Amino acid sequence: MDYLLAESLSLFFYIITLAIYNRARKEYAGGKIASAINLIMVFVTLIFFSDFTDYFLIRIFPVAEDTVLIIKIILKVSALSVLFFGGLRFFVETPDTAGSTSGLNHIINNKEASQINASDSLSIQKDDSSKRETIGRYQIIEQIGWGAMGIVYKGRDPRLNRLTAIKTIRFRDDLDNTGILNTREQFYREAEVIAKLSHPNIVSIYDVGEDNGLSYLAMEYLEGENLEKYTSKNSLLLTRKVIDIIIQVCDALEYAHNHDIVHRDIKPANIMILEDGLVKVTDFGIARITESSKTHTGTIKGTPYYMSPEQTKGMKLTGASDIFSIGIVFYQLLTGRLPFTGDNLASIMYQTNNLNPEPPTSYNSSIDEITLTILNKAMEKSLQKRYKTAGHMKEHLRLAARKGDVY
């Protein structure tokens, strides 16, 4: 009886472990965390079968006890071998250099870093003539970050003798061969469109290509920092500086929207400010060109805290969605708080669609009435009441700056 109880508990805990594994596998598709999860699950499974050997091979199938002992030893040795040799790869791979404080490292969202497929880095080929690693024609200097789509490298274009940021692209793991081919075709079509965007407030894409099956974007290399640093209540910028930043972002959005490009993932991590005050919107269009198929209703893309109501519903997006997102960034830069928060996606989506945020003046009494009106209009849940264009919002911000003498 005691033996049966022990086996029942063992089975119960294994089922719980399996449920946790299944959830974690969906949350971390690719990357070291996913590899570690798979490794641990294989180890647990082998141990489980080892523990149940007595039950299956003695009570159900009459097998000699010596044979059962040998099988149990083999299973446990196999489990330990899997854990040991599988774990070695986490100590012999190239160390993470994402902690660098220069360049595009600042545009990478740390929350997404665990989703990288580390095998992307293995696709870099050696240039035997120069003994330096390369992707396409670009010489790799160092790895500077990880993102949800791939690894970002600081590189050099030997043809033009300029520094370049190279972002590798990892396509979705759940696609079959046909799906991957269709996605790649779409990626190149839309990347070419994005590369044609030429605006001082949008990071330029120089080149798009493929090297030994690895797709990549070669982009403008920047020295600066993203806006995440200034979203804390203890590190807020002056209102006049915040307005200047939002004006520049609106200028970038207006230009892109006029070229039928919607960003889809406007957030502080994707807005970079350079030393001279120039603002650059990064990852423009990336949320679209890395989708598995052409944009369609029913698909939710973006970062939950910054999504528009229509984005949370999986509706077809227009430039108005980006305007709502920049309104949230505006709110956060002025108050050091997010307007919509929650412990899970459902809670955030509910608030975004149904609740009005706390008035920003509750956290920052220096916000003037004109700025408050512009902010509220940008964050209108109704498309009819929200700003129709980023250019319209930009002009109102310029007017508010002049009237409020915030410059």
Which amino acids are annotated catalytic? 265
DSSP labels for 383-404? TTTS-S-HHHHHHHHHHHHHHH
Cα-only R_g, the chain: 26
* CA count, 13 A, side-chain hemisphere, 250: 25
Phi, psi for residue 343 in degrees, rounded to 5: -80, -15
CA-wise closest residue to 103 among 155, 157, 150, 139: 155
Sheet containing strand 132-135, strands side by side = 125-127, 132-135, 138-146, 151-157, 162-169, 214-220, 205-211
CA-wise closest residue to 347 among 403, 301, 305, 302: 305
CA-wise closest residue to 369 among 396, 407, 388: 396
- CB-based contacts of 389, cutoff 8 Å, min separation 6: 254, 257, 319, 323
**CB-CB contact of 271 with 249 (8 Å):** yes
Q: Would you mind telling me the total number of residues written for the chain in this entry?
A: 407
> 64: buried, middle or exposed (CB in 10 Å: 19+, 13-18, 0-12)?
exposed
CA distance 375 to 373: 5
CA distance 362 to 372: 12
* CA count, 13 A, side-chain hemisphere, 197: 33
